[in-house]
Chain A
Amino acid sequence: MRTRTWAPYALIAPTLVLMAVFLVYPIGSVVYYSLQRYNVTQPWKNGFAGLDNFKQMLFDDPLFWQSLAFSAKWVFVEVGLQLLLGLILALIVNETFIGRGMARALVFSPWAVSGVLTTGIWILLLNPSTGIFQELSKLGIGTPGTSVLGNPDTVFDALVVTELWRGVPFFAILLLADLQSIPKDLYEAASVDGASRWRRFTSVTLPHLKDAIILSTLLRAVWEFNNVDLIYTLTGGGPANQTTTLPLYVARQAVDSHNFGYGSALTIAGFLILLFFSILYLRVSKFGSRA
């Protein structure tokens, strides 16, 4: 029975090694790079920079603040709308109707689609010459030749709707799973007591869903903050940096400018902001304590 002492360590050893090499070590080097001048295109300037990168970021880089503000707006709008629509969708497909299994499979399916593919699909749908707005204009709705992705006034809305298309199913799936774990007798008891449909929703369903909602919104917020696939391929952060998020800004520092030092400093900032708001969110929402 002495084997028990090392068994769990043997089981997690491969995971530990992978995490050490591909997560812990890279984080360490990001911290190190953030204190360096490290630009592949200007190697003669490389060297220790102290906190210069952070000073530049905070006091000398309007794009940092702009991308941070856009990230906040993006996460807030996306997660809010995805939660609302996902909850409605989960409630609908939790009802009994003919073809329910089929309906679930269909409305959930965009969840499996990648950001790049979503971009491809929506570029086809929104293109000004053969897209949906062109077809609608034939029916007398809207004006022909509308380019929603090229217009600074509509690009944000187009981006939001596109991401909703594949984001809503995430909430619908998680919340449907939680809806199904609500004991049926709770509803029966509420019905016997004469509670209306709305009343049953607010006093039985919502309290039960509370933890699932907190957890899924947090996971999704972190994911939407970090996700770059869709915006990178759909707008590239434009027009005129209007849709540049902080991670997209970092990716461009790394891929286009090869400015590894400054990109690393931006990384640290993003990580700390995310960690701070996550802890704050879990505290304020009293996760784990059922109302």
Chain B
Amino acid sequence: MTETLIRPPVDTPPPPRPPTKRRRRAVAEEPGKRWLIHLPLVVYLLFTLIPFYWMLVFAVRPTGSTQLVPWPITFEHFDTVWNDIGFGIFFYNSVVMGLGVLVFVTVLSVMGGYALARFKFRGQKVFLLAMLCTQFIPGAMMLIPLFVIFKSAGLLNSITGLIIAEVAFQLPLSLILMSGFIRNISVELEEAAMVDGCSRLRAFFAVTLPQLKPALVAVGSFAFIGAWNQFLFALMFASRQDKFTLPVGLSYALGEFNTDFGALAAGGVVAAVPVVLVFAVVQRFLVQGLSAGAVKG
């Protein structure tokens, strides 16, 4: 009905079936070799978890204690970092920044991804190439000009400024990912809705958007985690302590409290818990979403 719509190739792979439980008896054929899975798994779990545990132990045991299984536990270090050092404020700033980046990156990457996936337009290749090229630009190396821009725009010491910069840096990759997801969704239903008199916008919201849910979760959580962990810009563009985010606060804690490991550990727990929880919830969607074909774009 319109030549500007790109039809997906005929051999578009169907969306992956939801993994059924015990769909294949893994090593049942060679039962004696189960240790080949269990042994390395346990070793790797130890490698992953011991560092986390070490931080937790330091955070809840009294200063001076060297117990490896501390009891009774204390919350004095959390009280210190949250109230005295200002991690309460850093936490708030990080939440605002994470959610701001999440919203803008998700919305803008759906818009741009839709344009790339469903239209053919002049300059499309240049646009795509430019976005790929941005992936080679080292963030550290943009510090100098960005600082000049931020200063003249009055965006130093502002969470808004940080959100804008982070969105600009995250957007290219998210947009490319999102266009891959959208391309994998059949265009036929959308066209049918438009033949029935829907506007393109309504067709998108009614037909395509609901199918994009795993993609939105994947891109959105990527954006949140990336923003939560952003360090270099946050360090350069915020000199006032009430505008610090958690990584910046933590980096000062690394230097200042080189002897106060309890405070460092408690600050680390505060910074780790939200992002590790978010990740534990979404990692399943992440793997599913990526295997739906985004890797192959």
> Residues of A at under 8 Å CB distance from B?
1, 4, 7-9, 11-12, 14-16, 18-19, 21-27, 29-30, 33, 88-89, 92-93, 95-97, 101, 103-117, 119-125, 127, 130-132, 135, 165, 173-174, 176-178, 180-181, 184, 197, 211-212, 215, 219, 222, 225-226, 228-229, 233, 247-248, 250-251, 254-255, 260, 263-264, 266-267, 270-271, 274-275, 278
Which chain B residue lies CB-closest to A17? Answer: B168
Contacts of B70 in A (CB 8 A): none
For B265-297 the 0/1 string (1 means CB < 8 A from A) is 101100110011011100110111111010110
Which chain B residue lies CB-closest to A22? Answer: B168
Q: Give Cα distance in the complex from A225 to B140, angstroms.
A: 11
> Residues of B at under 8 Å CB distance from A?
2, 4, 13, 16, 19, 22-27, 30, 34, 37-38, 40-41, 44-45, 47-52, 54-55, 58, 66, 68, 108, 111-112, 114-116, 119, 121, 124, 127, 130-131, 133-149, 164-165, 167-169, 171-172, 175, 200, 225, 228-229, 231-232, 236, 247, 250-251, 253-254, 261, 264-265, 267-268, 271-272, 275-276, 278-280, 283-284, 286-291, 293, 295-296
Q: Are the CB atoms of A12 and B115 closer together than 8 Å?
A: yes
* A interface majority secondary structure: helix
Q: Give Cα distance in the complex from A254 to B235, angstroms.
A: 13
Q: Are the CB atoms of B2 and A251 closer together than 8 Å?
A: no
Known contacts A97-B26, A111-B279; A271 and B138 CB within 8 A of each other: yes
Contacts of B253 in A (CB 8 A): 120
Q: Give Cα distance in the complex from A197 to B30, angstroms.
A: 10
Q: Are the CB atoms of A132 and B50 closer together than 8 Å?
A: yes
Q: Are the CB atoms of A117 and B48 closer together than 8 Å?
A: no
Q: Are the CB atoms of B169 and A124 closer together than 8 Å?
A: no
Q: Are the CB atoms of A14 and B264 closer together than 8 Å?
A: no
Contacts of B51 in A (CB 8 A): 121-122, 124-125, 165
Q: Are the CB atoms of A225 and B236 closer together than 8 Å?
A: no
Q: Are the CB atoms of B40 and A116 closer together than 8 Å?
A: no
Q: Give Cα distance in the complex from A215 to B149, angstroms.
A: 33
Residue among A24, A33, A180 having the largest count of chain B Cβ atoms under 10 Å: A180
Contacts of A178 in B (CB 8 A): 290-291, 295
Q: Give Cα distance in the complex from A226 to B139, angstroms.
A: 7
Q: Give Cα distance in the complex from A104 to B288, angstroms.
A: 13
Known contacts A112-B276, A116-B247, A123-B264; A30 and B145 CB within 8 A of each other: yes
Q: Give Cα distance in the complex from A11 to B37, angstroms.
A: 48
Known contacts A15-B171, A109-B280, A228-B232; A250 and B108 CB within 8 A of each other: no
Contacts of B289 in A (CB 8 A): 177
Q: Are the CB atoms of B261 and A14 closer together than 8 Å?
A: no
Contacts of A89 in B (CB 8 A): 44
Contacts of A233 in B (CB 8 A): 251, 254
Q: Give Cα distance in the complex from A117 to B249, angstroms.
A: 11
Q: Are the CB atoms of A247 and B138 closer together than 8 Å?
A: yes
Q: Give Cα distance in the complex from A111 to B225, angstroms.
A: 10
Known contacts A23-B134, A111-B279; A117 and B45 CB within 8 A of each other: no
Q: Are the CB atoms of B37 and A97 closer together than 8 Å?
A: yes
CB distance from B15 to the nearest CB of A (A): 11
Contacts of B276 in A (CB 8 A): 109, 112-113
Contacts of A228 in B (CB 8 A): 139-140, 232
Q: Are the CB atoms of B290 and A173 closer together than 8 Å?
A: yes
Q: Are the CB atoms of B142 and A116 closer together than 8 Å?
A: no
Q: Are the CB atoms of B145 and A174 closer together than 8 Å?
A: no
Q: Are the CB atoms of B164 and A270 closer together than 8 Å?
A: no
Q: Are the CB atoms of A222 and B136 closer together than 8 Å?
A: yes
B40 in complex: contacting residue of A15, A21, A92, A222, CB < 8 Å: A92
B41 in complex: contacting residue of A24, A103, A111, A125, CB < 8 Å: A103
Q: Are the CB atoms of A180 and B138 closer together than 8 Å?
A: no
Q: Are the CB atoms of B136 and A127 closer together than 8 Å?
A: no
Q: Give Cα distance in the complex from A211 to B293, angstroms.
A: 12
Q: Are the CB atoms of A114 and B229 closer together than 8 Å?
A: yes
Q: Are the CB atoms of A19 and B247 closer together than 8 Å?
A: no
Q: Are the CB atoms of A12 and B111 closer together than 8 Å?
A: yes
Contacts of A109 in B (CB 8 A): 48, 52, 276, 279-280, 283
